[in-house]
Structure 1
Amino acid sequence: MSGFAQRLEEFDQYVMNHIPIRLIRLSDMKFVGRDDVRKHFRSSVPQTDPYGNYTHSRLVKYAILSHRWLDSGEPTYEEMKTGKAVGLGYEKLKNFCREARHCKLEFAWSDTCCIDKNSSTELDESIRSMFRWYRNSEICIVHLAKSTTIEDISKDEWTARGWTLQELLAPFCIKFFNKYWIPMTDDPNDKRKDPDTKILRTLEKATGIPRDKLYWEFKPGPSKVDERMVWAAKRKTTRVEDVAYSLMGIFDVSLQIAYGEGGDRAFCRLIEAIMQAGDPSVLNWKGTAAKHHTSDAIPRSPKSFLDRRELKLASSGRLEMTMTGLGLRVPLVILPLNLPLAMAAGTGRARISFDCLLCPDSNIRVDINVHNSLAHGQYQYALGIINYSLVRDGSCEVVEMQGKSAGFPLRCRQVDLSSSSTGTSTPRTTTSSVVGFETVYLEQIFGPWRKIREEGLIEVKFPITVPSFHIERKYLEIVHL
């Protein structure tokens, strides 16, 4: 296949998979499908690309609208198709299309009318593809219906809605218009010209997103999960499931759309999908866990990340995480904690001293909530360290630990082997006087490690002068949280 033929094939694949299902043709305000768009641009695909500058998104250009929906009166797919669209929503759409024409574009897209919401298949594809459609647009035109000046942006509803988060982050080019459809700046692109513009400073204040994340290219993916969840924590959606669905593109994961499943279930599925990538930051939250059927390691919502501890730790790579019938299966470095007898007299918050195996003369102390502390001796405590690496040290594999580490406070309860065979040690046995039977002498046996409720990750600073150190691999255990 020649280079041009391959480019044409790739162009066809791009149009049929990476742009909206239908667009508004601005010359006559009629809907056109992907095949019409493909025919419109196909003859412009260059036969050669000597400088390597050609991309399909530079050729297939369309404007996309970001706005706060009216309570009622937005034009629907059926109204636009039959030519019966009227009212304030339709006036907004016409203003958007006018600005798109000023950008010398032939096509435009709006979420109010370009999706046939009576088709569950189309709605599912549209929601899952939304981030990519905004990403591939030539320009995202933002209408701030409650703002007249840049200062008003901080209180505009647009900055507090769930779906508009990805509409801010995804496009490479954004242009803001106020309530009267007057441009808020003289810049052709309010997102890329200068990181220190007044509008970017205002957006940073209004959204909590650092300017560098707005100015520079935002890269979607299941990383820096704790930081990105905070951006979404105070945003609102009309449908509770949209809290999760509106974040799919930002974290580059895909979920089946199932309105009616409830917000908790949808968010649990989002977190499980993010966890498959293994970024430990997804575990950096605090508070009440979601009502998950097997795990206590799933947060309830983006708000769970608001009270997280700020952990500036060396990169630890991926952490193997798998959801099972026993909980979240994850390998952690288990470092024992010693709960002094003096701490057992009270309840609530306690400072637990940690006897470091490698630094026996040092005392590392952490603050966690210890409940049922009157039952001293019935629990063992530990830190489950998440940021570690497996490395080769000569002929054996060892665990490389960071001088600054983070881990979950864990505990396990003493179990009675007469009713449970689960434990962390083996009971002593002796032969009975009755032939064929053994008498079991129970020692202090403990069950599996469990995450201490309400607690998030804790930072531990080891008293060492080097960035990292090695410990034996035997301290690495598989736990189910």
Structure 2
Amino acid sequence: MILPEECYIDEFDRYAMNDIPIRLIRLTDMTFVERNEVREHFRTSYIRRLGQPSDTVRYAILSHRWLNQGEPTYEDIKAGIAAGPGYEKLKKFCAKAEEYNMEFAWSDTCCINKSSSTELDESIRSMFRWYGNSAICIIHLAQSETIEDIMEDEWTERGWTLQELLAPARIKFFNKHWVPMTCDRNDKNYKDDINDFLVSGPLLSSLGRREPAEILETLERATGIPHDDLQRKFCPSPSEVDKRMTWAARRKTTRVEDVAYALMGMFDVSLQIAYGEGGDRAFCRLIEAIMQAGDPSVLNWKGEAARHHASHAIPRSPQSFISYQSLEFEGSGRLEMTMTSLGLRIPLVIFPLSVRSNLQAGHGHSITLACLLCPSVKIDIDTNYGLDSGDQYALGIVNYSLIGHVPGIRGKSACFILHRQPDVFRCVPVCKPKCTEFVGLKFSPPDERFTEWKLVEEVGLVQVDFPSIPDEPVCYIDRRYLQTVYL
């Protein structure tokens, strides 16, 4: 029989061995402490308290912009020979961590043994969780003195610092001189208990008292992340993909693959780390992993598709989402999205379209389409490509709902514009074998004379308003309109 206390210990051991960094810096002597040692160190105090493991294993974590050279490495700290401006920054971070009553701290410059590919892979996959489980994330803005300077600080433009801003529950900004940028101990949630988090003594800022919300408003302008998303606890998930991708759209990384790897945590997916595969391939793998969750917001992008071996439904980069439209996906349920050798396999509600006008405008075309099943509905699109009068066109509705196998569409539907061409290879007569061996076998030539549906390039999703359907309920239609396509 397992005693309740033993259950708590098992939970704590799992947490300590899986949800905190592989090693931490012990602040008293600036030496490394491995994860197993941390587990043993905190076990006694955890048994005494029997609270949440994260409340027991408390460590500070650093978010910063790396120097071009001179950052301390794992080998430097291990050998006790670390020196230079990067090490001075590390020591100042550790001093601030001690002011928060931390016993341990973590920095990405030196706490990862980058000569071990296994450790590097685990660290990159786990980093969002490590930042999220920290007691305090100390952010050093090396190019800022005042809150307004944040607008021009490179920290807001780097790929990895996005997760370092979102993941922690508590963050504290320090300027280039290591002076706190507000009077509050937690710059993310200024509603924390004032007795617990107000700064006193050496942490009081010479900048004077400011409303802590001011820094969040400045961050919103600098990063494009709404104030509410910055303030509330961020929940990683493969949802709201269109909105969240815009937060990464203008960020840069030194290694091109890191554009994708730095977003794994935010979308709660995992990729094998493979530096050298190229940024395009890494981002395609990220999108494919997100698609497995079935949230249709991942399809809400516009522009040129990625160079994918099978599909034209994969965006090239986070920049593809900048022009996303505000479409209604909530309540539409999950889409079955599977990448195959034929393309992205996805079931869509298909409504036929007719071309009303196809006018050349500048270097592109302005096109008006009408829904054949609801003639009052007109769709205007702009594309660099004209439409062929011999093709068939259709709406492919993505935000439908299903009861059983019966699809229901909304008054505001998010749709792809699809087209398909006549297939000359299917127009030849189909011969029946002259053989008496086939007893009772029926022969039938294919009725389909067109190729598979494809996306009209660079248009992305469009919103179609069906006037006779109310906004909230859905209109259930015959299942014949639900077709599986390969995009």
Q: Fold match, TM over 0.5?
A: yes
- Aligned 8 A contact 1:337 1:352 in 2: no
What is the DSSP-based 3-state SS (H/G/I as helix, E as strand, rest coil) of the residue aligned with 1:294? coil
Count of paired positions: 458
Residue 461 (structure 2) pairs with residue 453 (structure 1) = no
Deviation at 1:349, TM superposition (A): 2.3
Q: For the residues of structure 1 that align with 2:435 and 2:58, how far apart are their CA atoms?
A: 86
Match of 1:221 in 2: 237
Q: Percent identity?
A: 59
Q: For the residues of structure 2 that align with 1:101 and 1:410, how far apart are their CA atoms?
A: 60
**Which AA in structure 2 matches 1:236?**
K
Deviation at 1:372, TM superposition (A): 4.3
Residue 157 (structure 2) pairs with residue 160 (structure 1) = yes
Match of 1:197 in 2: 213
Q: For the residues of structure 2 that align with 1:348 and 1:333, how far apart are their CA atoms?
A: 28
Match of 1:480 in 2: 486
**Which AA in structure 2 matches 1:343?**
N
* 1:253 paired residue among 260, 269, 278: 269
Match of 1:399 in 2: 407
Q: For the residues of structure 2 that align with 1:31 and 1:444, how far apart are their CA atoms?
A: 68
Match of 1:133 in 2: 130
More off after superposition, 194-203 vs 55-64: 194-203
Q: 1:147-184 deviations in whole A, cap 9, x for unaligned?
A: 00111011101000000000000000000000000011
**Which AA in structure 2 matches 1:402?**
R
* 1:343 paired residue among 358, 361, 375: 358
CA change 1:401–1:96 in 2 (3 A) is: same
**Which AA in structure 1 matches 2:403?**
V
What is the DSSP-based 3-state SS (H/G/I as helix, E as strand, rest coil) of the residue aligned with 2:383? strand
* 1:117 paired residue among 114, 118, 127: 114
* 2:318 paired residue among 302, 323, 326: 302
Deviation at 1:317, TM superposition (A): 1.4
Q: For the residues of structure 1 that align with 2:94 and 2:229, how far apart are their CA atoms?
A: 29
Structure 1: runs of 5 or more not aligned:
422-426
Match of 1:288 in 2: 304
TM-score (norm 2): 0.89
Match of 2:8 in 1: 7
**Which AA in structure 1 matches 2:24?**
L
Q: For the residues of structure 2 that align with 1:442 and 1:77, how far apart are their CA atoms?
A: 66
- Aligned 8 A contact 1:73 1:87 in 2: yes
Deviation at 1:366, TM superposition (A): 2.9
Deviation at 1:455, TM superposition (A): 1.4
CA change 1:469–1:97 in 2 (3 A) is: same
- Aligned 8 A contact 1:356 1:364 in 2: no
* 1:98 paired residue among 82, 95, 98: 95
Q: For the residues of structure 1 that align with 2:444 and 2:133, how far apart are their CA atoms?
A: 68
Q: For the residues of structure 1 that align with 2:75 and 2:431, how far apart are their CA atoms?
A: 81
Q: For the residues of structure 2 that align with 1:335 and 1:163, how far apart are their CA atoms?
A: 43
- Aligned 8 A contact 1:67 1:143 in 2: yes
Match of 1:237 in 2: 253
Residue 379 (structure 2) pairs with residue 365 (structure 1) = yes
- Aligned 8 A contact 2:359 2:367 in 1: no
- Aligned 8 A contact 2:385 2:457 in 1: no
* 1:380 paired residue among 392, 411, 414: 392
CA change 1:400–1:442 in 2 (3 A) is: closer
- Aligned 8 A contact 2:365 2:386 in 1: no
- Aligned 8 A contact 2:175 2:181 in 1: yes
Q: For the residues of structure 2 that align with 1:313 and 1:116, how far apart are their CA atoms?
A: 43
What is the DSSP-based 3-state SS (H/G/I as helix, E as strand, rest coil) of the residue aligned with 1:277? coil
CA change 1:24–1:471 in 2 (3 A) is: same
Deviation at 1:365, TM superposition (A): 2.7
**Which AA in structure 2 matches 1:41?**
F
Residue 286 (structure 2) pairs with residue 270 (structure 1) = yes
CA change 1:366–1:311 in 2 (3 A) is: same
Q: For the residues of structure 1 that align with 2:384 and 2:161, how far apart are their CA atoms?
A: 41
Deviation at 1:315, TM superposition (A): 2.6
- Aligned 8 A contact 2:359 2:365 in 1: no
Match of 2:467 in 1: 463
Deviation at 1:440, TM superposition (A): 11
Deviation at 1:353, TM superposition (A): 3.0
What is the DSSP-based 3-state SS (H/G/I as helix, E as strand, rest coil) of the residue aligned with 2:186? coil
* 1:63 paired residue among 51, 60, 63: 60
Match of 2:225 in 1: 209
Q: For the residues of structure 2 that align with 1:25 and 1:345, how far apart are their CA atoms?
A: 68
Q: For the residues of structure 2 that align with 1:356 and 1:370, how far apart are their CA atoms?
A: 24
> Which consecutive segments of 4 or more residues in structure 1 shift more than 4 A?
344-347, 427-432, 439-444
CA change 1:345–1:286 in 2 (3 A) is: closer
Structure 2: runs of 5 or more not aligned:
192-210, 437-442
TM-score (norm 1): 0.90
CA change 1:17–1:386 in 2 (3 A) is: same
Q: For the residues of structure 2 that align with 1:430 and 1:70, how far apart are their CA atoms?
A: 72
- Aligned 8 A contact 1:364 1:462 in 2: no
* 1:408 paired residue among 398, 401, 416: 416
* 2:169 paired residue among 161, 172, 195: 172
Q: 1:372-415 deviations in whole A, cap 9, x for unaligned?
A: 43x42x200001000111226xxxx5211100001110000011
Q: For the residues of structure 2 that align with 1:462 and 1:338, how far apart are their CA atoms?
A: 16
Deviation at 1:103, TM superposition (A): 0.9
Q: For the residues of structure 1 that align with 2:430 and 2:65, how far apart are their CA atoms?
A: 71
Matches within 5 A, 1:27-106: 27-46=28-47, 54-106=51-103
Deviation at 1:282, TM superposition (A): 0.3
**Which AA in structure 1 matches 2:278?**
G
- Aligned 8 A contact 2:328 2:414 in 1: no
RMSD: 2.4
CA change 1:444–1:339 in 2 (3 A) is: farther
- Aligned 8 A contact 1:428 1:440 in 2: no
